[in-house]
Structure 1
Amino acid sequence: MYKKITLTLILFFATHFIFSQQINHEFRGVWIATVNNIDWPSKKNLDPIKQKNELIDLLNTFKELNFNAIIFQIRPAADAFYNSNYEPWSSYLTDSINSPPTPYYDPLAFAIEETHKRGMEFHAWLNPYRVLIDYKKTTTTPLALIEEKPEWFINYGNTTYFNPGVPEVRAYTNKIVADIVQNYDIDAIHFDDYFYPYKIANESFPDADAFKKYGGQFYPNQLDNWRRNNVNTIIKELHNTIKSIKPWVQFGISPFGVWRNKSDDPAGSNTDAGQTNYDHLYADVLLWLKNGWLDYILPQIYWQIGHDKADYKTIAEWWIKNNYNTNLYIGQAMYRLGGKTDEAWKQQNKTEIEKQLDLNKSLSTIKGSTYFSAKSFLKNTFNINKILKENYYQYPTLPPPTNHTKKFIPESVSNIKLTKIKGRIYQLSWKAMPENEEKKAVKFLIYKFDRNENIDLNNSSKIIGLTGLSHININKRDFRKRTTFIVIPVSRNNNIGEAEIYVK
C-alpha cells in the first residue's frame, strides 16, 4: 500500500511539473495542388481506388518526413473536389464537368479523414476569383452562373474571373466558404496569392462598368483604392463567416512575397519586384494583419538568398517586422531545386533550401515553412527528403497554437494501457474525454522516457508519436521495465491539455 501511495504522489507531482513545461512548435506544411493535376490526382478520370491510393502514398510520405499540415486545393476554379451544394465537380477529378467519382466517394471527406488519422492538420485551399483557366479552349459552360449572372464575370487574358467589385460575388464567395466550414471537419480555410490577377502587359482589367456602378466614394478617380477595398471587404467578411460557424477554424493566406517595394512606399521592402501585393494584386495584406483578420500569414518567398532584386533574407526580415503578432510561416520554392536557370538552385552543398531553413531557424519569429509542391518530394532532387528528415525534421512536433485571444484546453486522457498485440508488437492505448467541439482532443503527442531519465518535453528526441488515433503500436525492443510513457491531448487550435503518465 505504501509503494502504491508513493507512486501515486510521484505521478501527481510529475504531471503538474510536466504541464508547466513548454513544448516546441513548428509549422511543417506542403501544398497539394489539384489544378491541372499538378500533384493529385496524377491524371484526370483516374479510377477512384487509384486516386485514394495515390493520396495515401502522398500523406504517408509527409508523415514519414514528420510534416504536420497539408494544404489541399479543393476549389481550383469555381469547381469542387467535394460534394458542393453550389458548384460542379471538378473536371480535374473525372475529366467531365459536374460528374462525381464512380464508384462514388467524397475526396474532401476522405482526405480530411486520412490526414487527421496521421495527426496532421488539413487546410482547405480555395481560389476565390478564378472561374475558367482558359475560356477560349472551354467547350462547355461548367458554371451555370456564367449564363445566369454574366455581370458577375470578367475575361482577362485567357482566363475568366469573378468580378471582385460586384457585391453579390462577395456574398456568393462567403456562401461557398460557409458551406465548407459547416459541413467538413477542416482545420483552416487557405487562400494563396491570386486576388486580382497578375497584370498582363498592354491589357487593362475590364471592370469599368462595375466601378461606375459600385464605386461609391471611390468613383471616378480612385480605381486602385476601390479595388483594394473590394479585397479588404471580402477578407474581413470571410474572417467573420468562418469564426461565426467554427471559432477554431483558422483563416490563413499565402500572399506573393513582396508587399510593396521601398521605391513606392518607405514602409516597403528593399526590393525591386516587378509586381507586388498592394500595387498590382490589390491585396493590402498589412491591413488584414493589423486588424487581426488572419490566423497565419505565409508569404511565398520564392527567390534565393542574394537575389539582386528580391533577396530572400531581405524579404523574410521585412515580414518579421510586419507580421503584427500573426503566426508567420514561409512559403519555400521546393519546385526550383535543381533548376537549370539560377545557379543558386543548382548547388548541392548546401542546397538553397537548406540555406533558407537555416536562416529561418535563426529568426525566431518565423514559426515554420510550407513547400510548393507535393510532387517535388516525389522527384526528391538532391535526395532532399533524406536531408530534411535527418537535419531539420527528425522528430514529430505540433504546429503553433492559433487564435491567440481564446484557448481551447482539452481534458487529459484516461485509462492508458499497454497491450500485447502480436509477437513483439504492443499497443499503447488511451481514452479521450468527450468534449464539445471547441475543446475536443483531436490529436495526441506521445513521449517515451527510459528509467531514471529526466522528463523534459523540450527534448524532441523523446517524442515517439503524433497521431489522430487513440493508440500507437510499439515494438517490445523500444521499452523496458519502468519506462515512462506520456500522452498529451491537443485541441483543434493546438493548445495542449494536462499530460497523463503511464509507467510500465
Structure 2
Amino acid sequence: MNIAKVTKNNLWVKFFSNFEQNLQNSISMYFKKAAFCLIIYAFLSGCSKKVTQQAISKPVGPKREFRAVWVATIDNIDWPSRKGLSSEIQQQDFRTLLDKQKSYGMNAVLVQVRAAADAFYARSKEPWSEWLTGEQGKAPEPYYDPMTFMIQESHQRGLEFHAWLNMNRGAHRVSKSIMDDHITKTKPEWFLTYSGYKLFNLGIPEVRAYITDIVVNIVKNYDVDGIHFDDYFYPYTEPNEKLRDEATFKKYNDGYKNIEDWRRHNVDLVVKNVSEAIRREKPKVKFGISPSGVWRNASTDPMGSATQGGQPSYDNLYADTRKWVKEGWLDYITPQIYFSFEFDKVPYKVMTDWWTKNSFGRHLYIGHGAYRVKAGSKEIGWENANQIPRQIRYNRTKPQISGSIFFSSKSLINNELSVNDSLKKIYYYPALTPTMPWKDKIPPNAPQNVKVQKVADFGVAITWELPASLPKDGDEVQGFVIYRFDENEPINLENPSKILQIVRNEGILSYTDKNHNRENSYIYVVTALDRLQNESVMSNVAKLK
C-alpha cells in the first residue's frame, strides 16, 4: 500500500478543497485513516518479519554431501603463503587455513602435495618443493614431514585429506630452482618441452610406471583418504606450439594408426594403472580426478554436450574422462565447471546436466570457480553474489550430484562478494561424506551404553562405549555422530539439523553439549562411522533424569 498516495488523494486534496466547510470532518477522517494505515503497517511489518525470518533461516540440505576446497601450493597460490617460511609459521598458517575452511562448512581438503615432480612430504624419491622451502631439495627447518602434519590436523577437525598430485609436470615455467639431479635432467628423454614447461612424455611405458609408483608410495606411507589428479594430462593447446612426440609414437604405438588415439590410450593406461594400484595397496583409499568441464561438444560428437567449449578434454588434452567413470576406474569425478549460468558457450546448467547423465553411478562432485567471483567482473554472471549459491542449490536438485569442490582456498578466504558468508548459511548444518558401496558397504556396529549427565554450568556430558565387536570386514570405528532431539520428538537420523556433532575417534568417548536450553528436555543417541563413513544403527536412547 502507498500510504503517501492514499493520504494525498483521499485526505489532503479533500482537506484543501473543502477547508472551511469540513475542517473538523477532515481532521477526524485523517486520524481514522492514519490509524488504519498504522494497523496495516504493523500487519505488514509482522508479515515482513516472518518473510525475513524464513529467508534467512538456514537450509537443512542433505545429510551426506562432499564439501571440499582445493589448496594449491604451485607458485604459493594458497599455501604456504610464500617460500622459505619457518616450519612453525607454515604449520600455523595451515591450521588457520583449515579452521577457516571448516567454519565455511567444508568436510574435506584437497592439498597439492606434488606440483612439478617435487614433494611436500618427506617419504619421496622426488626432491622437496621450492615452493615449500625456497630451494628445491632443501628440507623444512626445523625438520618435519608436512603431509603427516597436514593429515593429522585435517583429521582432528573432521576433514578428509586428499593428496592432490599434478601428474604431467616435470618443471613449471615459473620454476626458479631445479636441482642438477632432478629427474628432468637425469632423464631428459622422458620429457617434452611445451610452452615453457617440461612435461612427462606419457607415451613411454617407464614414465607411466614412474607415475604409478609415486602414487603407491604415498598410499603406502600416509593415511590419506584419497588420491586426486587435476586436469593436466597432455597440455592445453597453445598457439604456435607443437607437441613433438612423433618419435615416441613410432616406437611405442601399440598398433595405433592415429597419434591422437594413441595419446588417449596412454592417459587411459595411467588412470587405469593408478586405480588398480591403489586398490591393491589400500582398497578403501578414494581415487578422483578433476578434468576440464567439457568432454566433447555435440557439434563434434552426438554424445557430447550442447556447448561450444574451446578445449574439450577428449580432443585437446587426450583425456577420455567419460570413459574413466564408465569403466569404474574412478571413485569420483569433479568436472571443473567454472562457468556461470549466463555464459552462452558453456552454460553452467547445460554442462552440469550433461555430467549427471554421464557419471555412471560414480560420485559426481562439481568443481566451482570461486576465484571468478568478483564485484564489477566483466565475465558475465560472476559479478553476481548469488552465482555460487545458485549453483549449489541447483546441484541439490540433482540426485546424481554428491557435492562440490571450490577453487581455491584463498578465493573463499578473501570473501569476495561475501562468498564464504553465503557458504556458511548454505552449509550451516554438518554433512557426512557420501558413501561408496562399491568400495565398502558394511557399516560398523553401534556404540553402546550411552549416558548423559548435567555438568554444573558446562552443559550436558554425553559418554558412550565402543561397540562390543567389530563388523564382518574388521573395520575399526573411525568416528561418531551425536544426535540431539527434543524429548517427545520422533527420532529421525536422516535430518542433519539434529546432528549435534561429528567427532573423530581419538579414544575420548565423550562430548559436552554446551548449547542446550536448560528449560528443554532432550534425548541423545550416538552412531559409529567407519573409514568410508558408513554409519551404524543408533545406540540406546539416553535422556536426562
- TM (normalized to structure 1)? 0.90
With 460-469 and 314-323 compared, the bigger mean Cα shift is at: 460-469
Separation (CA, whole Å) in 1 of partners of 2:517 and 2:147:
36
1:103 equivalenced with 2:139 (yes/no): no
* Alpha-carbon spacing, 1:158–1:104, altered in 2? closer, same or farther (3 Å): same
**C-alpha distance 430-386 of structure 1, shift in aligned 2 (>3 A):** same
Matched, 1:292 2:328: yes
Higher normalized contact order (CA 8 Å, seq sep 6+, divided by chain length)? 1
Post-superposition shift, 1:416? 3.6
SS of match in other structure, 1:286: helix
Distance 1:370 1:195 in 2: 20
SS in 2 for 1:169: helix
> Is the contact made by 1:88 and 1:98 (CA closer than 8 Å) also made in structure 2?
yes
Counting only pairs closer than 5 Å after superposition, residues 86-97 of structure 1 correspond to structure 2 as 86-97=125-136
The structure 1 residue matched to 2:196, chosen from 155, 158, 183, is 158
2:372 is aligned with 1:336: yes
The AA in structure 2 aligned to 1:208 is E
Structure 1 equivalent of residue 230 of structure 2: 192
Most deviating of 433-442 and 456-465:
433-442
The change in CA–CA distance for 1:67 and 1:138 in structure 2 (over 3 A counts) is: closer
- Whether the 8 Å contact between 1:438 and 1:492 is mirrored in structure 2 is no
Distance 1:480-1:165 versus aligned 2 partners, 3 A rule: farther
Corresponding residue of 2:209: 171
CA deviation map 1:371-414 (0-9, x unaligned): 10001121111222222222x11100101101425424222223
Letter in 2 for 1:344: G
Please show how residues 309-320 of structure 1 align to structure 2 within 5 Å. Answer: 309-320=345-356
Residues 447, 539 of structure 2: 8 Å contact kept: yes
- Give the aligned partner of residue 73 of structure 2: 34
- 8 Å CA contact 2:340–2:380 kept in 1: the answer is no
| Residue pair 2:135, 2:177 contacting (<8 A) in 1 also | no
Structure 1 residues 50 and 449 mapped into 2: Cα distance closer, same or farther (>3 Å)? same
Asked if 2 retains the 8 angstrom alpha-carbon contact of 1:295 and 1:403, the reply is no
Distance 1:489 1:127, change over 3 A: same
Cα distance, 1:478 vs. partner? Answer: 4.3
Following superposition, which runs of at least 4 residues in structure 1 exceed 6 angstroms of deviation? 419-422
Measured at CA, do residues 89 and 346 of structure 1 come closer, stay the same or move farther in structure 2, by a change above 3 Å? Answer: same
| CA shift in 2, pair 1:438/1:71, >3 Å | farther
Contact 1:98–1:142 under 8 Å retained in 2: no
Of the three residues 273, 295, 318, the one matched with 1:259 is 295
Shift of 1:47: 1.7
Question: Displacement of 1:142 after TM fit?
Answer: 6.3
Report how far residue 450 of structure 1 moved. 2.0
- Contact kept in structure 1, 2:76 and 2:82, CA below 8 Å: yes
Match of 2:363 among 323, 327, 333: 327
- Aligned match of 1:80: 119
Question: Which residue of 2 is the match for residue 121 of structure 1?
Answer: 160
Structure 1 residues 202-241: aligned runs within 5 Å: 202-218=240-256, 221-241=257-277
Q: Could you tell me how far apart the structure 2 residues matched to 1:472 and 1:59 are?
A: 22
- The amino acid across from 2:346 in the alignment is A
Q: Which amino acid aligns with 1:388?
A: L
Question: 79, 88, 98: which one pairs with 1:59?
Answer: 98
Query: For the Cα contact (< 8 Å) 2:460–2:516, is it kept in 1?
Result: no
Deviations 1:12-63 (A, max 9, x none): xxxxxxxxxxx83111111111111111111111121111111111111122
**Contact preservation (8 Å) 1:88, 1:142:** no
Is 2:405 aligned against 1:370?
A: yes
Paired with 1:495 and 1:263, the residues of 2 have a C-alpha distance of 42
User: How many residues are matched?
Assistant: 476
Instruction: Indicate conservation of the 8 Å contact 1:416/1:431, yes or no.
Output: yes
Distance 2:219 2:184 in 1: 25
Q: What secondary structure sits across from 1:84 in the alignment?
A: coil
Query: Is 2:370–2:388's contact at 8 Å kept on the other side of the alignment?
Result: yes
CA deviations 1:332-374 (Å, max 9, x no partner) are 11111115221411123xx211221221122221111111000
1:239 touches 1:293 (CA, 8 Å); kept in 2?
Answer: yes
- Structure-1 separation of matches of 2:79 and 2:437: 31
Identify if the C-alpha distance between structure 1 residues 156 and 382 changes in structure 2 by more than 3 Å, giving closer, same or farther: same
Root-mean-square deviation (Å) = 2.1
Which residue number corresponds to residue 436 of structure 2?
402
The one-letter code matched in structure 2 to 1:148 is T
1:443–1:489 CA contact under 8 A, matched in 2: yes
After superposition, give the CA deviation of every residue in 1:421-472 in whole Å (9 maximum; x if it has no partner): 7842554343435859962222222111121111111222111111214443
- The alpha-carbon distance between structure 1 residues 476 and 215, as it changes in their structure 2 partners (threshold 3 A), is closer
Query: Structure 2: 5+ residue runs without aligned partners?
Result: 1-61
**Secondary structure of 1:216 counterpart:** coil
CA distance in 2, matches of 1:260, 1:438: 43
Q: Distance in 1 between matches of 2:83 and 2:431?
A: 35
Task: Measure the CA separation in 2 of the matches of 1:249 and 1:294.
Answer: 11
The percent of aligned pairs where both chains have the same amino acid is 41
The 1-side partners of 2:145 and 2:529 are apart by 27
Change (3 A) 1:139 1:387: closer
CA–CA separation in structure 2 for the residues paired with 1:161 and 1:224: 17
2:543 paired with 1:503: yes
Offset from partner CA, 1:473-498 (integer Å, 9 cap, x none): 32164467852222211112221122
Q: 1:172 to 1:421 in 2, by over 3 A?
A: farther
Matched letter for residue 214 of structure 1: Y
User: TM-score if structure 2 supplies the norm length?
Assistant: 0.83
2: CA distance between counterparts of 1:102 and 1:420? 47
